[in-house]
Amino acid sequence: MGIEGQEHLWDKEVTGHRTYNDIRIFTDEQLKNYTEDELKNFKIKHDISMIEKLETGPWPSFVSDIKREALHRKKIGQDELMIPMEVCEDLLGQVELSYHEGETHWKHGGIVGVLGYGGGVIGRYSDQPQKFPAVAHFHTIRVNQPGAKFYTTDWLRSFCDLCEYRGSGITNLHGSTGDLVMLGATTEQLEPIFFDLTHDLGVDLGGSGGNLRTPSDCIGPARCEYACYDNMDLCYDLTMTFQDELHRPAFPYKFKFKFDACPNCCTAAIARSDMAYIGNWKDDIRINQAAVKAYVGGEIPRNGGAVQADWGPFNIQEEIIDNCPTKCMSWDGSKLTINNAECTRCMHCINAMPEALRVGADSGLSISFGAKAPILEGAQIALMTIPFMYAKKPYDNIKALVGKVFDWWIEEGKNRERIGETIQRVSLKTFCEVLGIPPMPQMVKEPRSNPYVFFKESEVPGGWTRDINDYRKRHPR
């Protein structure tokens, strides 16, 4: 919520902060305007017998949810809504047709958005507007979520009112993009929605297209004792710094920042982002030997009490030492020892004994590049590139690195090529040269998968012209 003068729109710590009642659109009676009996007897205007079978399984069904919204909108009435009242009924009708014919009836709308922004709205149109006129336009609006997805109920109710009033009433919190999503709005409503989001709700649009996608983060130091840096502050700072890259697509393809405050990777940055910021530490894991003994003696429950185990008392050898992936831990019956040089930050021991073990005090972050989940080639995990950096305001070291990455990728990346694919194509060695960093052991992803290293002449003592006789003197047969 970084609009100047509106930073405290929904801040309960500020006197006179905005509440739901200040901008609400619907009354309580309108929001709760149907009974379960009415829902049981409600039939939409299309035959949807095929997709109604999805309601018979053990899991919640999107069909049931959209039916509820269709009835709700019908009882509100067209006079109280800014897009067609029957949008949900036509949506279900088109999905039914797609199931019958085995093909989608959505066509991508290309670039559609709000004034000054090239991203944030995914244009979508029906290719059957005569049959389903209420979804002739069905645009998706991405909304930049607050840090770590902390919401107040007042704000969420206001957002839902806006979705109902100017959209289909269908939302997504939160998909793989990280954003809040408003599903279904007409072209005429995009500018009013943008105005309401920025002026009443104090939020911006997210990213879409070939640009920086909406950065996202975990709860970090706000709630988590494992946080190695203030990922929420860094996420907000980079979001504000790279506004142009976020709103005006100029990249070969999408680019995602994700910020995990520790190696537990709750945002899954290492698997889901082109540039993953993962909390890390340089020094040793902090050990409280008295607490270790308390775990062993059963005085403190394993995993901080989060796991109600039925396999007997805590066994440090079986549950901690033997599960260490690098076998860098040992227990002699009275003292826990860790060979920190071999630790890979898997976090298992710290998670299992949080009172006994703590992350190191000399903390910062690691940066990995290139994660993605493509359809054709399979998932690709990010490649460790910067083993450690400090993350302290004003983050000039991190911003300088981002600038190098963007400048290089814009020039070298092919159309619809993620940065991980660019690195694979031109080599990690070239990427390291661009960033100005030396090769490091932490970058080795798959030992011995490629034994060839190509050196430049300047990197070889004596260059390419060497005396074979001189070599034989030093290396006799």
Domain 286-358 is in which class? alpha beta
pTM for this model (two decimals): 0.90
Cα–Cα dist 107/129, whole Å: 11
3-state helix, strand, coil in the chain (%, to 5): 40, 15, 50
Examine domains 20-199 and 286-358 and report if their fold is the same.
yes
**Residue 462, pLDDT above cutoff 90:** no
Least confident residue range of 74-83, 170-179, 283-292, 303-312 = 303-312
**Residue 377, pLDDT above cutoff 90:** no
Query: The domain at 20-199 falls in which architecture?
Result: 2-Layer Sandwich (3.30)
Cα–Cα dist 255/263, whole Å: 21
**Token pair of 401 as six digits:** 């690195």
Residue 391: other Cβ atoms inside 10 A: 23
Q: Which residues pair with 142 in a beta bridge?
A: 181
* Confidence band for 36, pLDDT divided at 50, 70 and 90: very high
Predicted confidence at residue 47, as pLDDT, reads 96
Predicted confidence at residue 27, as pLDDT, reads 96
Q: What average pLDDT does the segment 446-457 reach?
A: 72
Q: Where are the domains of the chain?
A: 20-199, 216-282+362-458, 286-358
Predicted confidence at residue 465, as pLDDT, reads 77
Predicted confidence at residue 305, as pLDDT, reads 79
Q: What average pLDDT does the segment 274-281 reach?
A: 97
Least confident residue range of 76-90, 315-329, 370-384 = 370-384
- Higher-confidence residue: 311 or 38? 38
Least confident residue range of 45-54, 107-116, 154-163, 335-344 = 107-116
* Confidence band for 1, pLDDT divided at 50, 70 and 90: very low
Kind plus residue range of the DSSP H or E element containing 287: strand 286-287
* Confidence band for 373, pLDDT divided at 50, 70 and 90: confident
Cα–Cα dist 104/126, whole Å: 9
Q: Mean of the per-residue pLDDT values for the chain?
A: 91
**CATH T-level assignment (fold) for domain 216-282+362-458:** Sulfite Reductase Hemoprotein; domain 1 (3.30.413)
**Residue 453, pLDDT above cutoff 80:** no
Predicted confidence at residue 446, as pLDDT, reads 75
Instruction: Find all residues with CB under 8 Å of 147, minimum gap 6, and list them.
Output: 217, 222, 232, 235, 236
**Residue 332, pLDDT above cutoff 90:** yes
Please report the sign of the dihedral spanned by the C-alpha atoms of residue 228, residue 233, residue 234, residue 236.
positive
Predicted confidence at residue 452, as pLDDT, reads 66
**Token pair of 73 as six digits:** 């909108």
* Cα–Cα nearest to 234, from 383, 384, 366, 398: 398
Is 309 within 8 Å of 291 (Cβ atoms)?
A: no
How much of the chain exceeds pLDDT 90, in percent? 76
pLDDT tens figures, 380-402: 899 999 999 999 999 999 999 99
Helix, coil or strand: residue 458: helix
Predicted confidence at residue 344, as pLDDT, reads 93
Predicted confidence at residue 450, as pLDDT, reads 65
